Structure formats: structure tokens, C-alpha cells
């Protein structure tokens, strides 16, 4: 038998002492006693083409959300045409890996085809026509995945920043009760699934109060709502941790589940406001793309610090939070590469473009172990 050289023995000893041979901790296992840990996934991942991303999803996450495939324009692009194959694959991936499966989203003013709101002549549809289309869409889509999809974002981003109801074609044609109708239709189609309201900037006091009003109005009417999804589209410095905490506490007092959804951290400067309003979009601009060749160490440390603060808060309120979902798997999957400024190189997630964990990942793991 060939003996190892002294040098080889020294190298192996160092590797063992530094934990080189230890497997990367799994996010879902570290937070198993706290809350579900999820990721939004795309078509290439559910089709199995992006094998490295799928491996990360299976290893680290126990809940998944579809990034785009269940939005109206993708799943129901024409009046009598549905595209269910990507969603079928998505649901199959979740079921095969015993994941909590989210449906995103049934009613939204964005990414909904124009025909939904129009008659055959291109004029605004009548209230009855639009209600009928909403009901049929929800019955068909949510009904198809009854007892397969575990929770639905029934309504998405229905509030203005001041907490008032956003003026959209839904509210203009149907009226303010379009939300109550959407939740009623969703309950009828998927009575065993959880039903949520999902929005960004819910850390703002005014918008927080608007979401509280939505929940209270639905409950006063006897309409079921099971939770609020607080979209976590944050930056390195905003929003303040205490405002996020205030919303977690306020929503939990309503007797519903609180979820952190769509979590990512924009590390780049941006024009416009904090949030996720798709109407705020800008062309390519080098001023807002300062790190095209890699994130400087100093910014990596800032990102890790920010995730540390967030997960310290989430762990503190683990009895109130049911789920934390990242909006993407690895940095190159993130929508923040193209929004609000197109063509940027952004670094908002825990895994880099090489699919390797970043310092931010290690920071999150520490919070789970030490929190």
C-alpha cells in the first residue's frame, strides 16, 4: 500500500480542521424549526434545463414560487387558450421533492393581456363580462391545481404607496369590491389552499394600513384570507429594520400568516423609488451599473451585513412568519439585472453566477444556527 507523503497529510489535516470536507449547510434544514425557505423558479428550471439551479433548489429550499409561468399573460394568453405544460412541470417538481407549492398570481394589473379588459371591438368590457372572465380564469387555473398548489397569491399589488386602492382596469370596471370577488372565486376554486394578498413596500406605515384595511374588509364580509406576503425587494440601506418589524407585528395581530416574499437586495444605485413598480423602467446607463465584472469585497460585506440584519429579525419573529422566499435562485437569474435599469449586472441573492454560496449565504446560515 502506498503511503501518503508528509505534505499530503498536512494538506488533508488543514482541510479537515477548516471544515473543507463538510457539506454546505442546507438553508431548509438550518431553518427547519423556524419557517419555510423558498425560491422563485423559472421555465428553464422546471423543464430541467438549468440543472445546477435545480440542484440548489432541491438542496436548499422546501417551498417554491413560479416567477412568471402562472401570470395571466403566460398561462392564459388568449380567450380560449391555456398554457399549462410549464405549470404542470412546476407542480411536479414541487410534489416530487415534498415542497410547499405557491401559485403566483391570479389577479394583477400587470402582465395581464389587454383582451381581458376589452370587448370584441376593443372598447372597455362591461362589469359583468370582466367578472365572468375573472371567475372563469380562477376556476380553470386554480381549479386545475386544486389540492396540488398549497397557497395562492390571489391579488397582487393592489395598493398605492399612500395605502389607497390603486386605480387599475380591475377597479375601474368592477369597482372596489373586485378584491372581495377575487378571493371568493379563489376559495370556491381551491377551498383547501391558503389564500394571500401580496404587495411591495408594506413596511411603509401608510401602505401597511392599506393592507390592514383590505384584510379587515374581507373578514367583515366573511371572506377568507389566510395571509399577507410582504415583498422583500430591499436595498443595502433601506427600508429600516424597525419598519419591517412593525409590519410583521401589525399583520400578525390580524390573526393571519405573515410571509416574506420575493426577497432580494439591490446592491446597485438606481433611479426612481424603492419598491417594485414595473412602470418605473429605464434604459441602459453605466452610472447605474458600476460592477459589471464582479462585486467588490467591501460591497459583499455590506450585502452579508444586510442579510444578517434581516434574518436576525425573521428569526426573532419566527413564530409569526410562515415562509421566507427569495426572488430567484442565483444572481444571474434575478430580474434586478434588467429592472429598473436594463442590462445591469446585479448581485442580490445568496448564490453567485457560479452557483456557489456567497458571504451573504454564510451570514444567513449563522443566523439560523445562532439565532
Residue 17 maps to a domain: no
What distance separates the 2 farthest-apart alpha carbons in the chain? 85
Strand partners, 66: 41
Per-residue pLDDT of 189-200, as tens digits, reads: 999 999 999 999
Residues 203-226, mean pLDDT to the nearest whole number:
98
Q: In this predicted structure, what is the pLDDT of residue 21?
A: 39
- The answer to whether 66 and 40 are in contact (CB under 8 A) is yes
Q: Residue 288 belongs to what domain range?
A: 31-370
Q: In this predicted structure, what is the pLDDT of residue 22?
A: 52
Residue 136 maps to a domain: yes
- Per cent of the chain over pLDDT 90 is 87
DSSP 8-class letter at 342:
T
Residues 304-329, mean pLDDT to the nearest whole number:
98
| DSSP three-state, residue 194 | strand
Residue 217 maps to a domain: yes
Residue 296 maps to a domain: yes
Residues 85-94, mean pLDDT to the nearest whole number:
98
Q: In this predicted structure, what is the pLDDT of residue 6?
A: 54
Q: In this predicted structure, what is the pLDDT of residue 270?
A: 84
pLDDT at 87 over 90: yes
Q: In this predicted structure, what is the pLDDT of residue 278?
A: 66
- The answer to whether 144 and 84 are in contact (CB under 8 A) is yes
| DSSP three-state, residue 138 | helix
Residue 6 maps to a domain: no
- The answer to whether 52 and 356 are in contact (CB under 8 A) is no
The per-residue pLDDT of the chain, averaged, comes to 93
- The answer to whether 128 and 121 are in contact (CB under 8 A) is no
Per-residue pLDDT of 221-247, as tens digits, reads: 999 999 999 999 999 999 999 999 999
**Binning pLDDT at 50, 70 and 90, where does residue 371 land?**
low
Residue 192's CB is within 10 A of a number of other CB atoms, namely 9
Q: In this predicted structure, what is the pLDDT of residue 248?
A: 98
Residue 9 maps to a domain: no
List 33, 245, 262, 309, catalytic entry: 262
pLDDT at 7 over 50: no
- As a whole number of angstroms, the distance between CA 91 and CA 193 comes to 14
Residue 21 maps to a domain: no
Residue 269, all three cell numbers: 444605485
Per-residue pLDDT of 255-281, as tens digits, reads: 999 999 999 999 999 887 666 666 677
- As a whole number of angstroms, the distance between CA 129 and CA 337 comes to 38
Q: Is 262 a catalytic residue?
A: yes
231: closest CA among 155, 315, 324? 324
Residues 18-45, mean pLDDT to the nearest whole number:
86
Domain containing residue 148: CATH number: 3.20.20.80
Q: In this predicted structure, what is the pLDDT of residue 8?
A: 41
Residue 222 maps to a domain: yes
Looking only at the bridges linking them, the beta strands covering 227-235 and 100-107 are: unpaired
Q: In this predicted structure, what is the pLDDT of residue 98?
A: 98
Q: In this predicted structure, what is the pLDDT of residue 274?
A: 64
Domain count, the chain: 1
Strand partners, 233: 264
Residues 108-137, mean pLDDT to the nearest whole number:
97
| DSSP three-state, residue 55 | helix
Residues 89-98, mean pLDDT to the nearest whole number:
98
List 59, 120, 157, 245, catalytic entry: 157
Q: In this predicted structure, what is the pLDDT of residue 15?
A: 40
Amino acid at each position: 500500500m502506498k503511503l501518503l507523503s508528509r505534505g499530503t497529510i498536512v494538506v488533508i489535516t488543514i482541510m479537515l480542521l477548516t471544515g473543507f470536507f463538510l457539506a454546505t449547510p442546507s438553508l431548509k434544514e438550518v431553518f427547519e424549526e423556524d419557517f419555510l425557505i423558498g425560491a422563485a423558479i423559472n421555465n428553464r428550471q422546471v423543464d430541467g434545463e438549468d440543472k445546477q439551479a435545480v440542484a440548489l433548489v432541491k438542496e436548499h429550499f422546501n417551498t417554491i414560487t413560479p416567477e412568471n409561468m402562472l401570470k395571466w399573460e403566460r398561462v392564459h394568453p388568449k380567450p380560449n387558450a391555456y398554457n399549462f405544460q410549464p405549470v404542470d412541470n412546476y407542480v411536479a417538481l414541487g410534489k416530487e421533492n415534498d415542497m410547499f407549492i405557491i401559485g403566483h398570481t391570479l389577479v394583477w394589473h400587470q402582465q395581464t393581456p389587454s383582451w381581458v379588459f376589452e370587448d370584441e371591438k376593443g372598447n372597455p368590457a362591461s362589469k359583468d363580462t370582466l367578472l365572468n372572465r375573472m371567475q372563469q380564469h380562477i376556476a380553470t387555473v386554480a381549479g386545475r391545481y386544486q389540492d396540488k398548489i398549497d397557497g395562492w397569491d390571489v391579488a397582487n399589488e393592489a395598493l398605492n404607496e399612500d395605502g389607497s386602492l390603486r386605480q387599475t382596469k380591475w377597479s375601474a370596471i368592477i369597482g372596489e369590491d373586485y378584491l372581495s370577488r377575487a378571493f371568493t372565486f379563489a376559495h370556491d376554486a381551491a377551498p383547501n389552499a391558503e389564500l394571500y394578498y401580496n404587495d411591495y413596500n408594506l413596511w411603509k406605515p401608510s401602505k401597511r394600513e392599506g393592507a390592514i384595511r383590505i384584510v379587515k374588509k374581507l373578514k367583515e364580509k366573511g371572506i377568507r384570507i389566510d395571509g399577507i406576503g410582504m415583498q422583500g425587494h430591499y436595498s443595502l440601506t433601506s427600508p429600516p429594520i424597525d419598519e419591517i418589524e412593525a409590519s410583521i407585528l401589525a399583520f400578525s395581530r390580524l390573526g393571519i400568516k405573515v410571509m416574506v416574499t420575493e426577497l432580494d437586495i439591490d446592491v446597485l444605485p438606481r433611479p426612481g423609488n424603492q419598491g417594485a413598480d414595473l412602470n418605473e423602467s429605464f434604459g441602459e446607463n453605466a452610472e447605474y451599473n458600476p460592477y459589471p465584472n464582479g462585486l467588490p469585497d467591501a460591497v459583499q460585506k455590506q450585502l452579508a451585513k444586510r442579510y444578517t440584519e434581516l434574518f436576525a429579525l425573521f428569526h426573532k419573529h419566527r413564530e409569526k412568519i410562515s415562509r421566507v422566499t427569495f426572488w430567484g435562485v442565483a444572481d444571474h437569474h434575478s430580474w434586478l439585472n434588467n429592472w429598473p435599469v436594463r442590462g445591469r449586472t446585479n448581485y442580490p441573492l445568496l448564490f453567485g453566477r457560479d452557483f456557489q454560496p456567497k458571504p451573504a449565504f454564510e451570514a444567513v446560515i449563522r443566523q439560523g444556527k445562532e439565532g
